[in-house]
């Protein structure tokens, strides 16, 4: 799916009707992905676009700095570059503001639609520790099970804490570890033992098993939701 460029608002052509056509075509593709229960990376990209729109709307100086200037000639006498301006900066900024005000409600609505689908899917994903969970659970494995999956997928994870001057944040790093064909013998406890055998450097890993009531895309939905849930549960 083609992404909406980060500077699509200020890129030529500066025309509200044209920009609305570009935006709605992009949002329609995202909604088609939503229909297939594919949430990411679309939702994250939309939130970034929304934040950019709000920032541009609140900062006219930032908009003015984006005013397009085309090099026309070099004034050797004055030793300066001469730029052509087909429209005035004032008119350009006003038109861009109109585009921003047009775009904000459309983007906001599509973000909310994605969040609603996310929340509905999350309600149907269940997680539990496999065996006795260690006190420190910031590193280990998680298992993805789902109705309709032929395999059980296993990922290694590690949650880190980092600080900024304003706040503390958690970040999770994940790596595909293994896949097991579903059958009666490949229980979550069996998988945990197999992971310990394969990776003895983590003798007592924290292992969580996820179960979904219905089939959902792994990379676009299941994995991102599981990662967020693991991050929230980690004891740091």
Task: Name the pLDDT band for 36 (thresholds 50, 70, 90).
Answer: very high
**DSSP reduced 3-state for 91:** helix
Tokens read off for 192: 């945990």
Q: 116-127, pLDDT tens digit by residue?
A: 999 999 999 999
Q: What are the domain boundaries of the chain? A: 16-122, 125-233
Give percent of the chain above pLDDT 70: 86
- Least confident piece of the model among 62-71, 137-146, 185-194: 62-71
Of residues 62 and 74, the one with the higher pLDDT is: 62
Q: What is the mean pLDDT of residues 223-228?
A: 96
Work out the number of other CB atoms within 10 angstroms of the CB of residue 201. 6
Helix (H) or strand (E) holding 16: helix 16-35
Phi/psi of residue 40, nearest 5 degrees: -110, 150
pLDDT of residue 71: 46
Residue range 54-70: mean pLDDT, rounded: 70
CA atoms of 53 and 8, how far apart (whole Å): 10
* Closest alpha carbon to 151 in 124, 186, 125, 175: 186
Q: Return the pLDDT at 9.
A: 86
Amino acid 167: pLDDT: 75
Tokens of 10: 């200020």
Q: Which CATH architecture best describes the domain 125-233?
A: 3-Layer(aba) Sandwich (3.40)
Confidence of residue 89 (pLDDT cuts 50, 70, 90): low
On the 0-12 / 13-18 / 19+ scale of CB atoms within 10 A, 40 is middle
Do you know the residue count of the chain?
A: 236
The answer to whether residue 1 scores a pLDDT higher than 70 is: no
Contact status, residue 139 vs residue 206, Cβ threshold 8 Å: yes
Looking at the predicted structure, is the pLDDT value of residue 218 above 80? yes
């Amino acid at each position: 799916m083609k992404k909406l460029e980060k500077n699509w608002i200020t890129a030529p052509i500066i025309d509200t009707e044209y920009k609305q056509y570009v935006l709605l075509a992009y949002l329609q593709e995202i909604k088609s992905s939503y229909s297939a229960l594919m949430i990411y990376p679309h939702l994250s990209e939309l939130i970034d676009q929304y934040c950019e729109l709000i920032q541009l709307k609140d900062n006219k100086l930032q908009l003015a700095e984006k005013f397009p200037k085309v090099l026309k000639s070099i004034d050797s006498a004055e030793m300066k570059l001469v730029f052509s301006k087909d429209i005035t900066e004032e008119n350009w900024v006003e038109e861009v503001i109109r585009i921003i005000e047009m775009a904000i409600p459309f983007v906001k609505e599509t973000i909310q639609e994605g969040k609603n689908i996310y929340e509905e899917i999350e309600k149907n994903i269940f997680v539990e520790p496999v065996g006795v969970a260690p006190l420190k659970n910031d590193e280990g494995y998680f298992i993805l099970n789902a109705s309709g999956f032929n395999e059980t997928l296993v990922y290694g994870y590690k949650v880190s804490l980092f600080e900024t001057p304003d706040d503390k944040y958690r970040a999770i790093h994940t790596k595909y570890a293994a896949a097991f064909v579903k059958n009666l013998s490949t229980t979550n406890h069996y998988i945990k033992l197999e992971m310990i055998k394969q990776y003895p450097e983590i003798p007592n890993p924290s292992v969580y098993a996820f179960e979904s009531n219905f089939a959902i895309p792994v990379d676009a939905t299941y994995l991102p939701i599981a990662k967020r849930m693991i991050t929230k549960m980690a004891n740091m």
